[in-house]
Structure 1
Amino acid sequence: MAQARLLADLRACVGPEHVLTGDDAVPYLTDWRKTVTGRAVAVVRPANRDEVAQVVRLCAAAGAPVVPQGGNTGQVAAATPDASASAVVLSLLRLNRVRAIDPDNDTVTVEAGCVLQTVQEAAREAGRLFPLSLGAEGSCTIGGNLATNAGGTQVLRYGNARELALGLEVVTPEGEIWDGLRGLRKDNTGYDLRDLYIGSEGTLGVITAAVLKLFPLPRAQRTALIATPGLSQALLLLQRARAGFGAELTAFEVMATPCLRDVTRAFAQQRLPFTEIDDDMWCVLLEVSDNEGEQHAQDRLEVVLSGALEAGEVSDVVVSVSESQSAAFWHLRESITLALAQADVCVKHDISLPASKIPDFVRETDRALATAFPGVRMRVFGHLGDGNLHYNLLPPRGASKADIQRLVHDRVHAAGGSISAEQGIGQHRVEDLERYKSDVELALMRRIKTALDPRGVMNPGKVLPMESKGDCP
Structure 2
Amino acid sequence: MNDLQQQLAAIVGPAHVLTGEAELASYLTDWRGRYRGRALALVKPGSTDEVAAVVRACAAAGVPMVPQGGNTSLCGAATPDQGGRSVLVNLSRLNRIRQIDAANNAITVEAGCLLAQVQEAAAAAGRLFPLALASEGSCQIGGNLSTNAGGVQVLRYGNTRELTLGLEVVLPDGCLWNGLTALRKDNTGYDLKDLFIGAEGTLGIITAAVLKLFPRPRAVVTAWLAVADGAAAIALLGRAQARFDARLTAFELISRQSLDLVLQHIPGSRQPLAAPAPWQVLLELADGGAWADLQADLEDFIGGEMADGRVQDGVLAQNETQARQLWALRENISEAQKIEGLSIKHDISVPVSRIPEFLDLAGTALAAAFPGVRVVAFGHAGDGNLHYNLSKAQRQDNDAFIAATPQANRIVHDLVARLGGSISAEHGIGQLKREELVRYKDPVGLDLMRCIKSSLDPRGLMNPGKIL
* TM-score bin, normalised by smaller chain: over 0.9
Q: Percent identity?
A: 56
- What's 1:229 paired with? 228
- What's 2:291 paired with? 294
- What's 1:15 paired with? 13
User: What do the CA deviations read for 1:288-344 (whole angstroms, capped 9, x no partner)?
Assistant: 002111122012202321222233220011001000000000000011111111223
- What's 2:382 paired with? 385
TM-score between both structures, scaled by the size of structure 1: 0.96
Residues matched between the structures, number: 460
Q: Are residues 1:372 and 2:369 paired?
A: yes
2:345–2:389 Cα contact (<8 Å) kept: yes
CA–CA distance in structure 1, aligned partners of residues 208 and 83 of structure 2? 30
Q: SS at the partner of 2:372?
A: coil
User: What do the CA deviations read for 1:62-105 (whole angstroms, capped 9, x no partner)?
Assistant: 00011000000010010110000111000000000000100000
Compute the displacement of 1:268 (Å): 4.2
User: What do the CA deviations read for 1:138-177 (whole angstroms, capped 9, x no partner)?
Assistant: 0000000000000001000000000111000000111011
Alignment of 1:252-267 (within 5 A): 252-267=251-266
2:347–2:388 Cα contact (<8 Å) kept: yes
CA–CA distance in structure 2, aligned partners of residues 73 and 67 of structure 1? 14
- What's 1:436 paired with? 440
- What's 1:247 paired with? 246
Alignment of 1:90-105 (within 5 A): 90-105=89-104
CA–CA distance in structure 1, aligned partners of residues 99 and 407 of structure 2? 49
Runs of 4+ in 1 over 6 A off after TM superposition: none
- What's 1:329 paired with? 326
CA–CA distance in structure 2, aligned partners of residues 362 and 347 of structure 1? 16
CA–CA distance in structure 1, aligned partners of residues 23 and 71 of structure 2? 16
CA–CA distance in structure 2, aligned partners of residues 177 and 408 of structure 1? 41
Q: Which amino acid aligns with 1:15?
A: G
CA–CA distance in structure 2, aligned partners of residues 338 and 41 of structure 1? 31
2:66–2:462 Cα contact (<8 Å) kept: yes
- What's 2:160 paired with? 161
CA gap of 1:446–1:349, structure 2 versus 1, over 3 A, is: same
User: What do the CA deviations read for 1:86-138 (whole angstroms, capped 9, x no partner)?
Assistant: 11000000000000100000111000000000000000000000000000000
- What's 2:309 paired with? 312
CA–CA distance in structure 1, aligned partners of residues 357 and 143 of structure 2? 34
1:290–1:296 Cα contact (<8 Å) kept: no
CA–CA distance in structure 2, aligned partners of residues 419 and 267 of structure 1? 29
Q: SS at the partner of 1:402?
A: helix
1:101–1:108 Cα contact (<8 Å) kept: yes
- What's 1:421 paired with? 425
- What's 2:465 paired with? 461
Compute the displacement of 1:273 (Å): 2.1
Q: Which amino acid aligns with 1:415?
A: L
- What's 2:64 paired with? 65
- What's 1:5 paired with? 3
Q: Which amino acid aligns with 2:405?
A: K
CA–CA distance in structure 2, aligned partners of residues 37 and 273 of structure 1? 38
2:299–2:316 Cα contact (<8 Å) kept: no
Q: SS at the partner of 2:390?
A: strand
Q: SS at the partner of 1:341?
A: helix
CA–CA distance in structure 1, aligned partners of residues 58 and 449 of structure 2? 24
Alignment of 1:57-136 (within 5 A): 57-136=56-135
TM-score between both structures, scaled by the size of structure 2: 0.97
Q: SS at the partner of 1:284?
A: strand
User: What do the CA deviations read for 1:254-302 (whole angstroms, capped 9, x no partner)?
Assistant: 1001211111111342111211234xx2100000002111122012202
